[in-house]
Amino acid sequence: MDDKLSLRYQLWSAWSGPLFLITFIIFWGVLGTNLPAPVSPALNPHDVAARYMGSWTEMRVGFGLSLIAVVLYLPWTALLTVQMARIEGRFPVLSLLQLLGGGLTVVVVSFSAMFWAVALFRPDRDPAQMQLLNDLGWLSIDLQYACTTLQMYAAAAVGLADKSAKPLFPRWVCWLTIICGTSFFPASLTGVMTTGAFAWDGVGSYYFPYFCWLCWYGIASLYMIAKVRRRMVAPQAQAAPLLPSASLPV
């Protein structure tokens, strides 16, 4: 594959970031009724069922489409891996950790939406079963945040080590990445809290960390797009090899 075509695919991968951001908010958030507020963990089974049935069509469409749109996170993660590996050089351990963290993030987000889609599959489902599936969806996405935090920490570490004239991320973005990755820690309390700031619908476990994650994702996407565009105007030299016996095309 020639460099021109490769850079074109990289640019598409970079733009999958903003596209994921928009579709996630619309499908998972608005149509899935997780915005402005998700189903509360304090609700009893009948109230949970009423909430699902009250937005049955919207939620089915929203979660169904979000299961498709979430794959946009993969080409973005793959591109970030390549860009990080060019900085790391021959042994891109952090780049590969970022790749694994991004891939697992897609799995976690997908399974949460899948549980909610199953809850909506049979309108006559026992409310207690619907509550269980709702719990599974929220606890699976909140308690398994560590894979996303790992992805963000790895990206920040490589960004801080980038000594090039035009680094992939400015240092302030790297520190913001660390802060945003750390913001997920309070979500560990969603497994024991049903009310308050650290329940899955609270400020500490929902609004703040999810805002931080999407804020980081959007900012990182802009710098990744800019990086590819600079290389399309003035292609750089071949990247350092990923392994002693392999090379990574720019």
Distance CA 242, CA 250 (A): 12
C-alpha pair distances (Å), 96 with each of 23, 79, 83, 146: 26, 12, 11, 16
Q: pLDDT by residue (tens digit) across 55-71?
A: 999 999 999 999 999 99
pLDDT averaged over every residue in the chain:
93
Distance of CA 101 to the CA centre of its chain: 9
Query: Given pLDDT bands bounded at 50, 70 and 90, which one contains residue 243?
Result: very low
Check the CA dihedral 231-234-240-243 and report its sign.
Answer: positive
C-alpha pair distances (Å), 164 with each of 116, 149, 160: 45, 25, 11
Q: pLDDT by residue (tens digit) across 8-40?
A: 999 999 999 999 999 999 999 999 999 999 999
Residue 216 identity: W
- Per-residue pLDDT at 250: 42
How does DSSP assign 185-236, residue by residue? GGGGGGGT-SSSTTSTTSIIIIIHHHHHHHHHHHHHHHHHHHHHHHHHHS--
Model-level pTM?
A: 0.90
Mean pLDDT computed over 217-226:
97
Number of CB atoms found within 10 A of residue 210's CB: 20
Copy the structure tokens of residue 147.
Answer: 């894979």
Mean pLDDT computed over 83-104:
96
Residue 247: is its pLDDT beyond 80? no
Residue 218: is its pLDDT beyond 80? yes
